[in-house]
Structure 1
Amino acid sequence: MHVLITVVGKRTEHWTDLFDVLCEQPDVTLTVLAADVSPVTRRELARLTGRHRRLRYHVVPHLLGESLTGHMASVLFRLPGHHDVTNARPDILHVIGEAAYLTTWQALRLRQRCWAGVPTTLYAAQNVVTRFPVPFPRIERQSYLSVDHAFPITPEALKVLRVKGYRGPATIVPLGVDTRVFRPLTTDAAMRPFTVGFVGRFEPHKGVADLLRAAELIDCDVSLVGDGSLNGEIERAAARRPGRVHRHGWAGHAELPLLLNRMDVLAMPSVEVVQRNTLPWIGIPLREQFGRVLVEAMACGVPVVGSDVGEIPHVVGDAGLVFPAGDVPALAARLARLRDDPSLAGRLANQGLRRADAEFDWRRIAGTLCATWRGLQSPTRPFRTPPAEAGHSTREAIS
């Protein structure tokens, strides 16, 4: 089964774990078409091709891009008319990108032009019903008519798909973690102060400032992994509390599991904001769609604390504590509770380990994806006629 996957955006490193696991399936040959990805993603893709003979990847140039517009929906593949990716017909086309993305439109156009009839599946993470400016609504509608199966990452993402008009089959498939890499490690926990950690972008909507204030209230150490516009605020906090605020740059798989294991709790104190970097007169609510680092921490046996924004409570489940977003005293109280009650921290850590293995292990997720893809290859499956070219009317036909 030859699967072609398209993926774009700077924060795509975690998808390489899924690609790795998919290539371990004995009947899967994988081609990855990527654009506007990070250097870390490029390195990981190159490393994987050294491990798997049945993996090929193409990082192609792009037009526009996330760094210019602030949104991945604007990325465009710059794919020549004759390219290696078009030569081999895939059995499945899987698009990692929302229905309204320009690259999703390009992938579906490529299928229509080069591989008519190839079953297509779509990742979906939107947990807010967002009305995009022209031409994105038309692209979104055409995508919903063309896709044979959707993979929303949460129940809320499935609800948004239905509200926005997708009527096809769907299976909830969460983001995952490689539990062979992210696992409990022996560390010197007894020799260090209680440490709360954060992994992600140092941006206002991630609640980094709230975390720094909460840590100061209970006088605990902070370990921050990532980068962003709040670097200055973090440096000022470190100056106020010498030796208590520790900052690390972006960490790959070789380093992140160890950094997580050196935390006593991982916090995701996100707040909801309105994003206006696409068009200034259009506000797009921005709330956490998943919180992948939560499951990475769970897999390492680290209890988690998260705000009640977006999908964080759904992902945390019974493996951590939730607090009202923006409520610094409440966040401090949750952290202090885990510091002062080792039995509670241990119980949440064990529940997180079970949750990571049962629900979020990439191997389980890959099995679900492959089972769906094999079913779509069945000669008896309904055929969905692809929509007409942009500018023409579209109708869904099932015969």
Structure 2
Amino acid sequence: MHVLITAAGKRTEHWTELFAALCDRPETTLTVLAADVSAPTHRGLDRLARQRPNLRYHLVPHLLGEDRTGHMASVLFRPGAGRLLGGRQPDVVHVIGEAAYLTTWQAIRMRQRHWPGTPITLYAAQNIVMRFPVPFPRLERQAYDTVDHAFPITPAALGVLRAKGYRGPATIIPLGVDTALFRPRPTPRPQARRFTVGFVGRLEPHKGVRDLLRAVELLDCDLLAVGGGSLHPEIERLAARRPGRVTLAGWTDHADLPRLLSRMDVLVLPSIEVIQRNLVRWIGIPLREQFGRVLVEAMACGVPVVGSDVGEIPYVIGAAGLTYPAGDVVALADRLAGLRDNPDLARRLAAEGVSRATSEFSWAGTAERMCRVWQELTGAGRHPADARGPDGQKARTS
């Protein structure tokens, strides 16, 4: 089964892990068309292509990038991307991008022009019903009318699809974690090490970084922050006030992240909801955590997790961690103190996190579920339209 995958945007590093899991399946070959991706994504694709003979990738020049508008919806492939396949027809086209994205519209046109009738599937992560400016609503409706099967990553994303008019079949398939790379490390904790709170991600206001800094000072615990962003100077100032107690690692290679996670006693995702204005200044778009992939990476490493109640964080954590009301610094400090002062609780949550990550969020499981749908769409199994979800629509939520 030859699968063509289109992807665009800076925050695409983790997709190479999915591609690797798909390439591990002997019946699958991949061609990836990507544009405006980050340098780590490019390196990951190049490394994977050298390792896996059943993967080909093309970095497609783009006409309009995320850097100019601040949103992945605006990325536009340069015309002629379909010709890069050299006449080789895919059995399935899978689009990594929301229905309203310009690259989704281009992938649909590409399919119609070069491989009419080929099934097309769509990734979906939006957990808020957002109204885009013209011409994006028209492109979104066209995608909903064309897509053969949708892959929302959470129940909330499925709800948004239904609310915005998608009536086709859908399977909830969450983002994953490489459980071979992210796994518990049996390294003994140094007796002299102080309780260390960790953060991984963009150092931006909507990630709740300021709340985390205040909670760390309240508890007088150590902080290990991995990432970069506009709040980098604030963490540096905190480090200057608390010598030896704050470490800012900066962005790191994904393969090195498990080592950094192993230095944390707890991983915190303290996101808050903000209004984003980058496509058009007078249109505010709520920015709410759509998944929080670092949570499953920490859980897979046996690191307890704490997250705010924003967006899909509680869904991802489940019973394998602790949540608190977003923006409530005292409540966050209380959750952290509970883990610091109750080692049995920390060990229990760590074990539950490993179990949840490996059973619910492994990339291998994600690849298996996606391939099952693709095989059904191409006639290798029962057509997914035969199944109906709890909302009465043609949907699968396995």
Q: State the TM-score bracket (shorter-chain normalisation).
A: over 0.9
Aligned to 1:354: 355
What is the CA–CA distance in structure 1 between the aligned matches of 2:355 and 2:165, rounded to whole Å?
36
| Cα distance change, pair 338–378 in 1 and its aligned pair in 2 (3 A) | same
Aligned to 1:128: 128
Letter in 1 for 2:277: R
Post-superposition offset of 1:147? 0.3
Query: Does 1:279 find its partner at 2:280?
Result: yes
Post-superposition offset of 1:63? 1.6
Structure 1 stretch 187-196 or stretch 99-108: which is displaced more?
187-196
Q: Are the aligned partners of 1:63 and 1:75 in contact in 2 as well (CA < 8 Å)?
A: yes
What is the CA–CA distance in structure 2 between the aligned matches of 1:89 and 1:38, rounded to whole Å?
28
What is the CA–CA distance in structure 2 between the aligned matches of 1:48 and 1:176, rounded to whole Å?
17
What is the CA–CA distance in structure 2 between the aligned matches of 1:82 and 1:276, rounded to whole Å?
33
Letter in 2 for 1:268: L
Letter in 1 for 2:50: G
Aligned to 1:87: 87
User: Which 5+ residue runs of structure 1 have no aligned equivalent?
Assistant: 385-399
Aligned to 1:390: none
Post-superposition offset of 1:379? 7.9
What is the CA–CA distance in structure 1 between the aligned matches of 2:356 and 2:303, rounded to whole Å?
12
Post-superposition offset of 1:79? 3.6
Q: Are the aligned partners of 1:66 and 1:75 in contact in 2 as well (CA < 8 Å)?
A: yes
Please state whether the residue corresponding to 1:48 is helix, strand or coil: helix
| Cα distance change, pair 188–81 in 1 and its aligned pair in 2 (3 A) | closer
Please state whether the residue corresponding to 2:160 is helix, strand or coil: helix
Letter in 1 for 2:250: G
| Cα distance change, pair 82–155 in 1 and its aligned pair in 2 (3 A) | closer
Aligned to 1:330: 331
Query: Does 1:232 find its partner at 2:233?
Result: yes
Please state whether the residue corresponding to 1:83 is helix, strand or coil: helix
What is the CA–CA distance in structure 1 between the aligned matches of 2:319 and 2:382, rounded to whole Å?
39
Q: Are the aligned partners of 2:153 and 2:174 in contact in 1 as well (CA < 8 Å)?
A: yes
Aligned to 2:50: 50
Aligned residue runs from structure 1 range 363-374, under 5 A: 363-374=364-375
Aligned to 1:210: 211
Post-superposition offset of 1:83? 2.9
| Cα distance change, pair 380–38 in 1 and its aligned pair in 2 (3 A) | closer
Query: Does 1:107 find its partner at 2:107?
Result: yes
Q: Matched residue pairs, number?
A: 384
Letter in 2 for 1:346: R
Please state whether the residue corresponding to 2:254 is helix, strand or coil: coil
Letter in 2 for 1:89: Q
Please state whether the residue corresponding to 1:255 is helix, strand or coil: helix
What is the CA–CA distance in structure 1 between the aligned matches of 2:183 and 2:70, rounded to whole Å?
34
Identical counterparts, % of pairs: 68
User: Which 5+ residue runs of structure 2 have no aligned equivalent?
Assistant: 386-398
What is the CA–CA distance in structure 1 between the aligned matches of 2:227 and 2:237, rounded to whole Å?
17
What is the CA–CA distance in structure 1 between the aligned matches of 2:4 and 2:345, rounded to whole Å?
45
| Cα distance change, pair 84–274 in 1 and its aligned pair in 2 (3 A) | same
Q: Which whole-Å deviations, capped at 9, do the CAs of 1:94-148 have from their partners, x for residues lacking one?
A: 0000000000000000000000000000000000000000000000000001100
Aligned residue runs from structure 1 range 145-184, under 5 A: 145-184=145-184
What is the CA–CA distance in structure 1 between the aligned matches of 2:158 and 2:292, rounded to whole Å?
17
Query: Does 1:137 find its partner at 2:166?
Result: no
Structure 1 stretch 96-105 or stretch 82-91: which is displaced more?
82-91
What is the CA–CA distance in structure 2 between the aligned matches of 1:253 and 1:127, rounded to whole Å?
26
What is the CA–CA distance in structure 2 between the aligned matches of 1:381 and 1:141, rounded to whole Å?
27
Q: Are the aligned partners of 1:22 and 1:28 in contact in 2 as well (CA < 8 Å)?
A: yes
What is the CA–CA distance in structure 2 between the aligned matches of 1:82 and 1:372, rounded to whole Å?
24
Post-superposition offset of 1:85? 2.3
| Cα distance change, pair 273–359 in 1 and its aligned pair in 2 (3 A) | same
Aligned to 2:38: 38
Query: Does 1:319 find its partner at 2:320?
Result: yes
Q: Are the aligned partners of 1:187 and 1:262 in contact in 2 as well (CA < 8 Å)?
A: no
Post-superposition offset of 1:88? 1.1
- Normalised to the residue count of structure 2, the TM-score between the two structures is 0.94
Q: Are the aligned partners of 2:182 and 2:258 in contact in 1 as well (CA < 8 Å)?
A: yes
What is the CA–CA distance in structure 1 between the aligned matches of 2:17 and 2:314, rounded to whole Å?
24
Please state whether the residue corresponding to 1:87 is helix, strand or coil: coil
What is the CA–CA distance in structure 2 between the aligned matches of 1:220 and 1:379, rounded to whole Å?
55
CA RMSD of aligned residues (A): 1.5
Q: Which whole-Å deviations, capped at 9, do the CAs of 1:198-245 have from their partners, x for residues lacking one?
A: 000000000111101100100110010011011111111111111111
Q: Are the aligned partners of 1:60 and 1:79 in contact in 2 as well (CA < 8 Å)?
A: no
Post-superposition offset of 1:80? 3.0
Post-superposition offset of 1:277? 1.1
Please state whether the residue corresponding to 2:162 is helix, strand or coil: helix
Q: Are the aligned partners of 2:320 and 2:356 in contact in 1 as well (CA < 8 Å)?
A: yes
Post-superposition offset of 1:252? 2.1
What is the CA–CA distance in structure 2 between the aligned matches of 1:302 and 1:218, rounded to whole Å?
19
Aligned to 2:248: 247
Structure 1 stretch 92-101 or stretch 79-88: which is displaced more?
79-88
Q: Are the aligned partners of 1:33 and 1:59 in contact in 2 as well (CA < 8 Å)?
A: yes
Q: Which whole-Å deviations, capped at 9, do the CAs of 1:281-312 have from their partners, x for residues lacking one?
A: 00000000000000000000001000000000
Q: Are the aligned partners of 1:276 and 1:282 in contact in 2 as well (CA < 8 Å)?
A: yes
Q: Are the aligned partners of 1:63 and 1:76 in contact in 2 as well (CA < 8 Å)?
A: yes
What is the CA–CA distance in structure 2 between the aligned matches of 1:23 and 1:51, rounded to whole Å?
10
Q: Which whole-Å deviations, capped at 9, do the CAs of 1:319-365 have from their partners, x for residues lacking one?
A: 11000000111101100110000000000000001001110011111
Aligned to 1:69: 69
Aligned to 1:397: none
Post-superposition offset of 1:51? 1.1
